[in-house]
Amino acid sequence: MDVIAVIPARGGSVGLPGKNVRPLLGVPLVARTVQTALRARSLNEVFVTSNDDDILRISADAGATVIRRPEALSNSTASSEAALLHALEWLEGQGRSLPDYLVFLQCTSAFTRPEDIDLVLETMIGKGAKAAFSAVEDHGFIWHEDDDGFAQGITHDESKPRQRRQDMKPRFRENGAIYAMHVPSFLAQRERFCGPTVLVPVDGPTVEIDSQEDWDVVEAYLNARNRSAQPAVQTRKIKAVITDFDGVHTDDRVIVDQDGREAVTCSRRDGLGLELMRKRDVKLMILSKEANPVVRARAAKLQMPVMNQIDDKLSVLDTWRQEQGLEWSEIVYIGNDVNDIDCMRTCGLSFAPADAHPSALDVADHVLNAEGGKGAVREMCDYLIAAGYVE
């Protein structure tokens, strides 16, 4: 099943000029959405469609495939559907088969999580729907004015006793973050609600960034939420990233064929993250206990030096550090098991994938949301860039 995400992000916002490239906690708004989409396990590729050179450049750096949108589809009256349809036409023009499903994401929703994207898509497919959208439960009483200018209830009958919240049938409203569509149905109807539609409740705050006030609210919330989770800012910039292999680049499983040959599963997203590090002149190295040739094969693909079959990682890393003229405080280490703990404790900053051994989780400065082999390295790289550890 081929599933893509398309993020329309035009230049020239009226309510908050330049919002799509404006850094939110150090990460441009459009890049945050790209990074979230890349961590969703259900998506095969992420596209950004825009008429703006800065948006296209930032999106490409974040790992998206970019599509230049015609100016005729980029003014304030152009619909999102028009941008999505153009993106599908562009794909066909590149000789690519159309995907089975399309997920439409909006940059203005800064609280979207990868698991929300997966849930919307899985719910739609599981129920046999043609469209789906993310929603939040809403207990508000909505009014409008009637033809005579008097208040009239829309979601309730004001002439009857007011209902208690617990007695009301649950109501939901779109949170504007995620929409999913069956592509053949979308092409036929040319509307996001292109057939039987399911709503998918998601958790979290609901703020769409359309004004400076919205931006201030989102920024304050994210600052408060992240303050306790983020390690203290380093006085030195990070100059090297050292990674374990099994359980970090891989999901810590191995496939063995009848001849005893081993294969592992890695994430392409990790390679893009490491490329961002390399472009910033950060030294990279894999330090692994594993003896299997697959370690060196993957390291060659990633253009990373590798030291494998290492039992005493800390002493080997110390020798390498001195040869490179580095301080411990300038080194990041990501590991997942007991043989990584000494390095994690000694280096200036340490990370662990979400599914790491409890002993590694206990000593890590930062526990990632992603699991090993499923984008953990990419999430770490994005964090280092966003937090200003590398330039």
pLDDT digits (tens, 9 = 90+) for 73-131: 887 778 899 999 999 999 999 999 999 999 999 999 999 999 999 999 999 999 999 99
Mean pLDDT, range 360-366, rounded to an integer: 88
Spatial separation of the C-alpha atoms in residues 41 and 379, rounded to whole Å = 13
Q: What's the CA gap between 337 and 243, in Å, rounded? A: 12
State the Cα–Cα distance between residues 68 and 89, nearest whole angstrom.
12
Instruction: Determine phi and psi for 128, rounding to 5 degrees.
Output: 70, 25
Sign for the CA dihedral angle at 44, 50, 52, 55 comes to negative
CB 318 within 8 A of CB 324: no
Q: Give pLDDT, residue 343.
A: 92
Contacting residues for 267 by C-beta, under 8 A, at least 6 apart: 249, 373, 374, 375, 376, 377, 378
Residue 135 has pLDDT above 90, yes or no: yes
pLDDT digit string, tens, across residues 308-327: 888 889 989 999 999 999 98
244, 340 contact by CB (below 8 A):
yes
Q: Using CB atoms within 10 Å of the CB of residue 322, give its burial: 0 to 12 exposed, 13 to 18 middle, 19+ buried.
A: exposed
Task: Please state the CATH superfamily assignment of the domain spanning residues 240-386 in this structure.
Answer: HAD superfamily/HAD-like (3.40.50.1000)
Q: Name the band, by pLDDT with cuts 50, 70 and 90, for residue 149.
A: very high
Helix-helix angle 294-302:268-279, to 10 degrees: 50
Question: Which residues does residue 143 pair with via DSSP β-bridges, in sequence order?
Answer: 153
In sequence order, the 6+-apart residues with CB closer than 8 A to the CB of 338 are 357, 359, 360
pLDDT band at 234 (very low <50, low <70, confident <90, very high): very low
Q: Name the pLDDT band for 139 (thresholds 50, 70, 90).
A: confident
pLDDT digits (tens, 9 = 90+) for 53-69: 999 999 998 889 999 99
Q: Parallel, antiparallel, or unpaired: how do β-strands 23-24 and 131-137 relate?
A: unpaired
pLDDT for 379: 93
> Is 160 strand, coil or helix?
coil
Distance between CA atoms of 257 and 298, rounded to whole angstroms? 19
Domain ranges for the chain: 3-139+167-225, 240-386
Average pLDDT, the chain: 88
Q: What is the mean pLDDT of residues 257-281?
A: 86
Cα(40)–Cα(309) distance, integer angstroms: 33
In the chain, DSSP finds a helix count (H) and a strand count (E) of 12, 19
Query: Within 13 Å and on the Cβ side, how many CA atoms surround 32?
Result: 25
Rounded Cα–Cα distance for residues 180 and 1 (Å) = 14
What span, in angstroms and rounded, lies between the C-alpha atoms of 85 and 98?
11
- Contacts of residue 169, Cβ cutoff 8 Å, sequence gap at least 6: none
Residues 6+ apart with CB under 8 A from 128: 196
Alpha helices in the chain (DSSP H): 29-38, 53-62, 80-93, 114-126, 183-189, 212-227, 268-279, 294-302, 313-324, 341-346, 358-363, 376-386
| pLDDT number for residue 125 | 95
pLDDT at 329: 85
What CATH superfamily classification does 3-139+167-225 receive?
Answer: Spore Coat Polysaccharide Biosynthesis Protein SpsA; Chain A (3.90.550.10)
